[in-house]
Amino acid sequence: MLSGGNAMSIQSLHGDISYYQVTESLNEQLQSIKGRMQAHLPELDRVSFALFDEQKNMLKTYADSAFWNLRQAHNEASMKELPALTRSALQRQNRIIDDLTKLPSTTYIDMLLEHGYRSSAAIPCYDNEEFRGFIFLNSRSVNVFSEYVIETLDPYLNMIKFCVMSENQIVHRIIDAARDIIEKTNLCMKDSAAHKERIGYYTRLIASHIAGEHDFDDETVEHLSLFAQFHDLGKVRLPEHLVCKHDVLEGDELKQVHGYVQHGMDIVDEILENLGYPQHPSIVLLTDIMAYHQEYLDGSGYPNGLSGAQIPISARIVAVANVFDALTAHRPYRQAWSIPHAMLEMEKMVNLGKLDRQCVNALREYQSEISAEREQYPECDPKDDEYQLNML
């Protein structure tokens, strides 16, 4: 915690990462920092951070001290649609708005006004000279922010940057380590990049859709979609002949393959050990996904035969994403199913008590978007030499 409770300790990793060893969610950290800032600026009512997605050139809501109704979170916009913020990022200048009612109406501006906010300041943030996003300050009064006011808050703004950037670096160190392990394996043991993109995309769709029911903030949705892409990392430690086999696996072979879940957990533990075992909420998501994504609600899954509420919602989401991608992917012994056909099969699995109904219903709501995603990240032909077995 940043104030009260257990004190945070800072640990250096490889000389280029420092982080709080034990932390709460970024929302909670921002709420605590905002409390300190209000001693200098009582009119400050909200502190938030929007994350820049360089690959998609998007700005996404990420952390918020206000703990808004999560049904209204999970916003994103192309930087092309945000010319003022684009200039702010490029010129490294703060953007100050004295009265939000003077701006043209947008979904996000309207949301701010609905919650009573009237003025805003956006502070661009960089990590090793790379733009990472904005800290936003909001007040329910007009004409609150100025360059002088922002300068007086600089120690707290640096604290926010540290919290966000250090967590972001830890998450991406984990992902980079996983990618490096995959890249060092033989070709047929690599999951296709398209498969990873699709799993991450389906996970994000489901998590965003059910966020209100499960209190998922933007940070949780982001990390779920990132970590889901590596749910079957443990395959890299399976015998190559099993991973590359084009026939249906049975008996002892299937039992051996099921061991990939434990292999994945072992690999993650090794990665976390190298990072000094950070204790962040994101790490709980990662380990839950790795350990439980093959468990079914009726207890028929593996490796532990868990059932119902014993299976974390994060793992239930990834299980649905994984089953859907498997059904709609080519196999040497069958063609890919259409999206409607796959949805019908998943409905049967829901009725049999295997899959989470909420998660399956969420996918049904986005069938046109899913179709477009599959066109952008198509499945490999099983006859291709680079075919990989994506789901075991």
pLDDT band for position 1 (cuts 50, 70, 90): very low
Residue 12 phi, psi (nearest 5): -90, 140
Lowest mean pLDDT among 2-11, 114-123, 272-281, 285-294: 2-11
Asked whether residue 215 falls in the same domain as residue 84, the answer is no
pLDDT-above-70 percentage for the chain = 88
Residue 142 belongs to what domain range? 10-166
Between CA 231 and CA 293 the distance in angstroms is 7
137 and 246 co-located in one domain: no
Is the domain of 147 the same as that of 230?
no
Q: Specify the residue for token string 């006004």.
A: 113
Residue 175 lies in a domain: no
Confidence (pLDDT) at 15 = 47
DSSP string across 223-247: HHHHHHTTTTGGGGGS-HHHHT--S
61: domain CATH number is 3.30.450.40
For residue 45, is it within any domain? yes
Residue 362 lies in a domain: yes
pLDDT at 360 over 70: yes
Instruction: Look at the block and give the residue holding tokens 């709501």.
Output: 365
Tokens of 80: 């092309």
Q: Tell me, yes or no, whether 195 and 225 share the same domain.
A: yes
Residue 177 covered by a domain: no
Domain-embedded: residue 390: no
| pLDDT at residue 247 is higher than 80 | no
Domain shared by 42 and 132, yes or no: yes
C-alpha 6/C-alpha 9 separation (Å) is 9
CATH number at residue 245: 1.10.3210.10
Q: How far apart are CA 309 and CA 386, in angstroms?
A: 39
Q: How far apart are CA 250 and CA 256, in angstroms?
A: 10
pLDDT at 389: 42
- Looking at the structure, do residues 194 and 298 belong to the same domain, yes or no? yes
Asked if residue 146 and residue 286 are part of one domain, the reply reads no
Q: pLDDT for 303-346, tens place per residue?
A: 999 999 999 999 999 999 999 999 998 766 567 889 999 999 99
Residue ranges in 4-153 assigned as alpha helix (H): 26-37, 83-91, 107-114, 147-152
The answer as to whether 307 is a domain residue is yes
**Amino acid (1-letter code) at residue 209:** H
Together in a domain, 26 and 58: yes
pLDDT band per the 50, 70, 90 thresholds, residue 390: very low
243 touches 189 (CB < 8 A):
yes
CA gap 244, 190 in Å, rounded? 10
Same domain, 162 and 196: no
For residue 303, say if its preceding peptide bond is cis, omega within 30 degrees of 0.
yes
Per-residue pLDDT of 191-212, as tens digits, reads 577 888 899 999 999 999 999 8
Q: Which of 272, 187, 185, 276 is nearest to 233 (CA)?
A: 185
Weakest-pLDDT range from 63-72, 110-119, 347-356, 362-371: 63-72
Residue pair 228/318 in contact by the 8 Å Cβ criterion: yes
pLDDT recorded at residue 341: 94
Do 66 and 130 belong to one domain?
Answer: yes
Distance between CA atoms of residues 186 and 199, nearest Å: 22
Residues 161 and 191 in one domain: no
Looking at the fold, whether 60 and 126 belong to one and the same domain comes out as yes
Residues 6+ apart with CB under 8 A from 300: 354
Q: Decide if 89 is inside a domain.
A: yes
Provide the pLDDT confidence category of residue 75 given band limits of 50, 70 and 90: confident
- Residue 204, domain member (yes or no): yes
124: its two tokens: 């661009």
Number of domains in the chain: 2
Tokens of 294: 């093959």
Q: Which of 276, 19, 283 is nearest to 175 (CA)?
A: 283
